Structure 1
Amino acid sequence: MKKWFKKSSAMMLVLTLLLGLTTVPAQADAAPLYTIEGENAQLSSELQVATQIYGQPKPGYSGTGFVWMQNSGTITFTVTVPATGMYAISTRFMQELSPDGRLQYLSINGVNKGSYMLPYTTTWSNYNFGFHKLNQGSNTIQVKAGWGFAYFDTFTVDYANLDPLIVQPTLIDSQATPETQILMNYLTEVYGKHIISGQQEIYGGGNNGNSELEFNWIYNLTGKYPAIRGFDFMNYNPLYGWEDGTTNRMIDWVNNRGGIATASWHINVPKNFTAYQLGQPVDWLNATYKPTDTNFNTANAVVPGTKEYQYLMLAIEDLAEQLLILQNNGVPVIFRPFHEAEGNGGLNGEGAWFWWAKAGAGVYKQLWDILYNKLTVTYGLHNLIWTYNSYVYNTSPAWYPGNSKVDIVGYDKYNTVYNRYDGLSGVPNEDAITSIFYQLVDSTNGTKMVAMTENDTIPSVQNLTEEKSGWLYFLPWYGEHLMSTAFNYPATLTTLYQSNYVITLDELPNLKVNVPSASITPTSVVFDKYTPNQSDKAITVNYYGNTLSGIKNGSVSLVAGTDYTVSGTTVTIKKSYLAARAVGTTSLTFDFSAGADRVLTVSIVDTTPTNNSSITPTSASFDKKTANQADIAVTMTLNGNTLSGIKNGSVSLVSGTDYTVSGTTVTIKKSYLAAQAVGTTNLTFDFSAGTDPVLAVSVVDTTVNLPGALTVSGTAGNAQATLTWTASTGATSYKVERATGSGAYTAIASNLTALTYTDTTAVNGTLYNYRVVASNAAGSTNSNSIALTPSVTTPTGSFKIQMYSGNTDASSNTIAPRVKIVNMGTTALDLSTVKLRYYYTIDANKTQAFWCDWSHVGSSNVTGTFVTMPTPKTGADTYFEIGFTSAAGTLAPSAAAEIQIRIARTDWSNYTQTGDYSFSPTGSSYVDWTKMTGYASGTLQWGVEP
């Protein structure tokens, strides 16, 4: 018998399923826990306390003044809290520079908690950094300038006034099936009190068809199965649609294993929709759900009469067919269509990851409405709990279909590799992302449950409970997202699954309406294809008020009256049908009008007598060395059969060329064997009947050839050394080694096929002994050495460049060099003749833009140009060239001018800054920087070009 969820009584179960429960939310104290004047915090040297800006007073501040943060600096303060839990952090501020907002960073106890865009305001206003976990005792909070330029008056830390997480079990579909309503009642009852465990299954026949891999892995690790199983309807489509058993697995999971089903819909469109004809089969390789891979016009998909709309109707029809099967079998579905719509953010589809968001928020909501109306009204489907995937961008509310069309709000947490703020990599991120959770709760005023509908690392149970992060359920993606220790620690998973807070499969209540299911006897039979032994198979059915709708073998229906007959409670499977099945297991599904379907397992055997042929020998060896090569003779014992051919795997040998037959002797020609790779070659003798014997040939090569000599040359530059060498006759690969002392070498690059290699880890001024080693297929080697000393000469010209990177994240949507040019000459420097270059790799061929946030010479007097380098270098295929208009004037001797630049793609996708030539991953103040170059009238004055 299954238990109700943990620490609940049977009476609570009854109340939950029939009524749902309510609780009274706690009231927050009126007085804040802690407030500090900005001028009393610990300020870095770049910051100053002010009462006016450029001579303009800013009245209304409290205390003796406010903190003026410009382009850099940190504000740090310490707060002591009575208990570990969630607290609200806010500031009183003014930001009157940028209508688009100014980026700042928040860290707690040394861990970055993300970036925050302070909105534009010319009056003192309050800004909420959200809810964050603080530990009992002392906690250090720091605000760091991103784009800076804001004024901070006070900072406040207070108890978090968390939503009570009470949601009524009212489904948007008033005609919901009883099973669907019971499931909704249960979800709203556990919401905020427990989290339901879940796991996405692999789809499309992945894991070599083993859809249970992740679930068995969880059970073997924790002794528990997840309560929710994620499915996907993507293979039921008008293009290449095929039956992968998803619907039957959903029925089995819910009706036989007692679990909960959720499903998404990665519905594809043709890549070349213009050439596509409706109803035409399209290979899956020519289909996509990516907006950049198709000319499908999403805006047309909501316009009746267009080809796009007609295609959408075909897709919905295929989906509805499967959902109807589920409804007829009493299976409710937490349904998540058109997921992750907004992608990277934006109103017009600029951040879209899927075609359904390509035309923007307005069209997306029309698509949602069409799908909802078609499924519920046209197809009469009422077994769905509608789940919408949301984000927390400022544009996210525009995508929301509305409370009348959504039952659950979902969020997909992927922050192990991307979007993490703790500075770590390669390890799980067990953050409960509580601030995001409560932002989503607030987006519907607490009227909808919020679930983690996809994720990589599952948050730890400690973070979930301490932060009161009330996610309804979690659902890790399959494969490495669950099973790799880079995404989930096994010990954390075990603690999580075995905790009182997490609901597992064995702890779910009975969520089914009490309708008896039909049964069959027996449930398994054996059928022999040998003609004298063939017989019909009679199956007795107990209907319990149901009717038999049909019998299916996979997705193929058996023909009543031909493949089977029905007489009262006896169903007879005809031997003529069974004799046509392949040897193995055939599963026949008895489809009943209500309740669970039943499966008859038929074990197909064939005891028909056969006379097997044989060969002698069954193993042999062959030496590829020319002098030792020889044909291999094989003697056949035919036993009345004939030789049809010989195969190496799926490739047939050519009779008369690869082998000859004379009577019962087969000769495998040495010319064929000499072409085979060293190792074992299995040759299958295909006879007209019986089993096919195999000749295993062990192919060896006793030839030993040294690769030819090679000549090594090289050049040394700025922190790198480049080696080139001549091809070595007979060599199949090369490796580069570097001397470590005492005559020893260590490999720094292996399995090279090119005849050049650049060591970018070299240090200027250090002598390195390199060795290039050539290897052939037999493992023999030859080598040659060279000594190189990398060095760099910094030019001395009329000026120098100092720089630090304002954004040091390895992956970021913004490159932010902070640049200072210093006049080193004795005369004034005409800035209109000056060009400064910042080198980097563009990573993706997308449109870029730049902004000059501030400069001593005036932002409007700074120009910028993106240049693609004709020959890419290590760490650079592009440079951004900074110039100056004539209005920038001149720079006096020893004077300096700062330029604060931001570079971004217009779609705001991320750059990978790691390895960029001019990027400085550390430091927050100006230093001489030779990896930027400067020119006066086209002549290099400073820096080293890559």
Structure 2
Amino acid sequence: MKKAKSILIVLLISANFAFGQKFEAETATLAGGAAKQASSSASGGYYVAQGEGNLTFNLNFAEAATYNIYIQVASPNGYKANNLIVDGTSITFATNQNSNYIKLKAVSFLKLAAGAHKVEITKSWGWINIDYIEFEKVDPATKFDINKKLVTPNPSSEAASLYQFLYDNYGKKIISGVMDMKESNWLKTNTGKSPALVGFDFLFCGRNYSWYNENTPYNETKALYDKNGIPAFCWHWRDPSRKTEEFYTEKTTFDISKISDETSDEYKAMISDIDYISGMLKKFQDNKIPILWRPLHEAAGGWFWWGAKGAAPCKKLWQVMFDRMVNFHGLHNLIWVWTREPNDDAWYPGDEYVDIVGRDIYKEGDHSSQILEFNDMTSRYGGKKMVTISESGSFPDVDNLIADGAGWSWFMPWTGDFTRLAKYNSLDLWKKMFASDYVLTLDEMPNLKTYTSTSMIGEKSNDFKIFPTYFDETINIHSAKKIQEVTVFNQLGISVKAIKPKADNLVVSLAAFPSGLYLVKIDENEAVKVFKR
């Protein structure tokens, strides 16, 4: 069927405001069937029924600032997922069924320069009612407060050292990764370098497959860790009842809700599988190998059986698994990674059960920094959890990561085509990533068995704080005592600025210097890295 042409009316809105400015949906450019509707319950007396259409706001900001973006939205037709796009960078937001309007935070800590910006709400599922969008100015200095301790009581020294390494590099470098050793070997052959992190899967373990060697995960992991690589495990957990060999919801009827019934066969089957995998993880612990442990991934998507019955049983299963592995089996070598999906706040196991939060992002050919996702996750967990791209199709280009200040801990494209095909990630992009000082590769890794830093977890790292790590013109320095001297070095180690403030709080301007990496040295302390956009 030939589609009718849409006539678009572009609206330019001046956004010279101080706080909480609203932009009514009916004033946006509407296309594809989105329609203005009258309603006494809507702000301004109108809303936009999205249908299968899109909305475009063309905004103009008088000054640079950092914002949270909210959408006043109703979803009378059930759960819907749609896209918010700011200057070409998108994030998915989801709404549960609700005939009344709710104010949904869609974007957090987004830095916008002065000038023109395009904000779009586009159809994924469509069929929501949009009242307005709102921009709220926020202080970027409140963005991070990363936990310095693991959630596992008395973690192994190896797990603590690995977490310390992640903590020390968070926002300063990104760790390169790939799923599966065969992809790591392929990258070594084709680029001359190997990623620092490799993903593994307990997919075939504990199923008595005659063709599978149960020692493979351990052997490959030990070989990687002996080279100072980082092992990350997920678990495509096949039907615990053994009635099928499947893990997809549509292919098994296994009932996760029985996790609350300790007398049920399903509960006993889940515990049996957890015990088996715990035995494999115990072998790693006995050989002093820490593991990034990412079970029950993508739960809120619903496509795996552990997400088939909603939030409560999945959350319960995570907590049961944590207790069983940590307290019953005595596993202290695990760093627990939760994989977020849109609109999954009710699924989150809790801060006391999660060390790091990941996001699996599959957007073919999209090499943007995913800054909207990064900021949303940072804000959603109170800036306390490091966040990471735990899986991806296409991964972000390093230039975009640095330019936007998207400080993901690591990235890890999935195996096969996602690693090797140019439509996802070209070989030239892999080489560019591996050549960047911002990207850590295997040959650049320290000895993780003995890794320490000047800021060990749980201890005060310095008597001063420098922020933000990514800046445009100025950095702030707060100190517990008066600072005698501040020296700034460029990437070549050449001093480009020196001041003697004799103050405990100061703002240092680097506006005159070009973009790039700088080292800031406070008195006799070790230099701290910052990046000028």
CA contact (8 A) 1:236 1:243 kept: yes
Pairing 1:243–2:201 present: no
Distance in 2 (CA, whole Å) between partners of 1:148 and 1:401 is 29
Query: Structure 1 residue 320: deviation in Å?
Result: 2.4
Quote the Cα distance in structure 1 between the aligned partners of 2:299 and 2:435.
34
- Among candidates 141, 154, 172, match of residue 119 of structure 2: 141
Q: 1:130 aligns with which of 95, 107, 132?
A: 107
Q: For the Cα contact (< 8 Å) 1:38–1:66, is it kept in 2?
A: no
What is the identity, as a one-letter code, of the residue corresponding to 2:59?
A: T
Give, as a single letter, the amino acid of the residue that structure 1 aligns with 2:291: V
* Secondary structure at the counterpart of residue 229 of structure 1: strand
User: CA shift at 1:488, angstroms?
Assistant: 0.7
Report what 1:337 is aligned to: 295
Partner Cα separation in structure 1 for residue 318 and residue 203 of structure 2: 17
* 1:353 and 2:303 correspond: yes
**Contact 1:49–1:67, Cα closer than 8 Å, also in 2:** yes
| 1:41-52 paired onto structure 2 within 5 Å | none
Equivalence for 1:498:
435
SS of the equivalent of 2:338 reads strand
Deviation, structure 1 residue 225: 1.5
Query: Which structure: greater helix fraction?
Result: 2
Deviation at 1:363, TM superposition (A): 2.1
Q: CA deviation at 1:408?
A: 1.4
SS in 2 for 1:269: coil
Pick closer, same or farther for the CA change 1:381–1:79 going to 2, 3 Å: same
After TM superposition, the score normalised by the length of structure 2 is 0.69
Counterpart of 1:327 in structure 2 is 285
Distance 1:451 1:75, change over 3 A: closer
Alpha-carbon contact 2:371-2:406 (below 8 Å) kept: yes
Matched, 1:233 2:238: no
Q: In structure 2, what is the Cα distance between the partners aligned to 1:512 and 1:472? A: 20
Please state whether the residue corresponding to 1:317 is helix, strand or coil: helix
Residue in structure 2 matched with residue 300 of structure 1 by the alignment: 258
Cα offset, 1:387, TM superposition: 1.4
Q: Is structure 2 residue 332 aligned with structure 1 residue 363?
A: no
Q: Deviations over 1:873-899 (max 9, x none)?
A: xxxxxxxxxxxxxxxxxxxxxxxxxxx
Q: Rate the CA distance shift 1:402–1:489 in 2: closer, same or farther, 3 A.
A: same
Shift of 1:219: 2.7
* Residue in 1 that maps onto 2:464: none
Change (3 A) 1:257 1:30: farther
The Cα shift of 1:512 comes to 0.7
- 8 Å contact 1:451–1:471 — kept in the other structure? yes
Structure richer in strand, relative to its length:
1
Q: Distance in 1 between matches of 2:275 and 2:75?
A: 53
User: Would the aligned equivalents of 1:171 and 1:181 in 2 still touch at CA under 8 Å?
Assistant: yes
Consecutive unaligned residues of structure 1, counting only runs of 5 or more, are: 1-28, 202-210, 274-285, 344-351, 417-427, 515-946
Q: What code does the residue aligned with 1:228 have? A: L
The answer as to whether partners of 1:176 and 1:382 remain within 8 angstroms in 2 is: yes
Secondary structure of the corresponding residue to residue 412 of structure 2 = coil
- 2:443 aligned with 1:485: no
* 2:356 paired residue among 386, 402, 408: 408
Query: Which letter does structure 2 place at the counterpart of 1:304?
Result: E
Asked if the contact 2:80–2:96 (Cα under 8 Å) also holds between the matched residues in 1, the reply is yes
Secondary structure of the residue aligned to 2:341 is coil
Judged with a 3 Å threshold, the aligned counterparts in structure 2 of structure 1 residues 175 and 157 are, in CA distance, closer, same or farther, namely closer
Q: Tell me the amino acid that sits aligned with residue 397 of structure 1.
A: D
CA shift at 1:182, angstroms?
1.1
Q: 1:309 to 1:465 in 2, by over 3 A?
A: same
1:764 is matched with which residue? none
Shift of 1:459: 1.0
C-alpha displacement of 1:214? 1.5
1:488 counterpart SS class: coil
How far apart are 1:250 and its partner, in Å? 0.9
Question: Counterparts in 2 of 1:755-904, with a 5 A limit?
Answer: none
Q: Would you say 1:269 and 2:239 are equivalent positions?
A: yes
Correspondences of 1:471-870 after superposition (within 5 Å):
471-513=408-450
Counterpart of 1:141 in 2: which secondary structure?
strand
User: What is the CA RMSD across the aligned residues, in angstroms?
Assistant: 3.9
Q: Report the secondary structure of 1:230's partner residue.
A: strand
For residue 197 of structure 1, give the secondary structure of its aligned residue in structure 2.
strand
Q: Which amino acid aligns with 1:195?
A: I
1:223 is matched with 192
Determine if contact 2:232/2:294 at 8 Å carries over to the other structure: yes
The alignment covers a number of residue pairs equal to: 429
Task: Indicate yes or no: 2:334 matched with 1:384.
Answer: yes
User: How far apart in 2 are the matches of 1:408 and 1:487?
Assistant: 26
Which secondary structure state, in structure 2, belongs to the residue aligned with residue 184 of structure 1?
Answer: helix
- Does residue 31 of the first structure (1) align with residue 18 of the second (2)? yes
Q: Structure 1 residues 512 and 293, CA, compared in 2 at 3 Å: closer, same or farther?
A: same
- In the alignment, structure 2 segments of 5+ residues that lack a partner are 1-15, 452-533
2:494 is aligned to: none
SS in 1 for 2:424: coil
Name the counterpart of 2:346. 398
Cα distance, 1:369 vs structure 2: 2.5
User: Contact 2:25–2:55 at 8 Å: present in 1 too?
Assistant: no
Query: Distance between the aligned counterparts of 2:193 and 2:62, measured in 1?
Result: 37
Q: How many Å separate the matches in 2 of 1:234 and 1:200? A: 13
Among 307, 325, 350, the residue aligned to 1:375: 325
3-state SS of the aligned residue for 2:359? strand
- Contact (CA 8 Å) 2:262, 2:268: kept in 1 or not? yes
Tell me the secondary structure at the aligned position of residue 277 of structure 2: helix
- Once the two structures are superposed, residues 753-785 of structure 1 have per-residue CA deviations (whole angstroms, 9 ceiling, x without a partner) of xxxxxxxxxxxxxxxxxxxxxxxxxxxxxxxxx
Q: Aligned AA for 2:295?
A: P
Q: CA deviation at 1:482?
A: 0.7
Tell me the distance in 2 between the aligned counterparts of 1:301 and 1:226. Answer: 38
Counting only pairs closer than 5 Å after superposition, residues 311-322 of structure 1 correspond to structure 2 as: 311-322=269-280
Check conservation: 2:78, 2:98, Cα contact below 8 A: yes
**Structure 1 pair 166/363, CA: closer, same or farther in 2 (3 Å)?**
same
Indicate the residue corresponding to 1:78 in structure 2. Answer: 59
Output the CA distance in 1 between the equivalents of 2:75 and 2:417: 45
Name the aligned partner's letter for residue 287 of structure 1.
E
1:437 aligns with 2:374: yes
Cα distance change, pair 70–179 in 1 and its aligned pair in 2 (3 A) = closer
Distance in 1 (CA, whole Å) between partners of 2:134 and 2:433 is 36
Q: Give the CA deviation at 1:191.
A: 1.6
What's the % identity of the aligned pairs?
A: 28
* Matched-pair contact (CA < 8 Å) for 2:339–2:359: yes
Q: Is the 8 A contact 1:86 1:468 kept in 2?
A: no
Structure 1 distance, partners of 2:147, 2:433, is: 28
Pair 1:119–1:155, CA change in 2 (3 A): farther
1:313 Cα offset (Å): 3.6
1:826 is aligned to: none
**Worse-superposed segment, 186-195 or 175-184:** 186-195
Q: Structure 1 residue 165: deviation in Å? A: 2.9
Match of residue 288 from structure 1:
246
The alpha carbon displacement at 1:242 in A equals 3.6
Partner of 2:176: 197
Distance, in Å, in 1 between the alignment partners of 2:204 and 2:32 is 60
SS of 2:387's equivalent in the other structure is: strand
Shift of 1:38: 7.2
Query: 2 CA distance for matches of 1:133 and 1:177?
Result: 39
CA distance in 2, matches of 1:97, 1:269: 34
Q: Comparing both chains, which one has the higher relative contact order based on Cα–Cα distances under 8 Å and sequence gaps of 6 or more? A: 2
- Find out whether 1:448 has 2:419 as its counterpart: no
Counterpart of 1:164 in structure 2 is 143
- Report the equivalent of 2:223: 252
| CA distance in structure 1 between the partners assigned to 2:316 and 2:49 by the alignment | 45
Q: Secondary structure at the match of 2:390?
A: strand
Report the residue type matching 1:184 in the other structure. Y
| C-alpha deviation, 1:336, in angstroms | 1.2
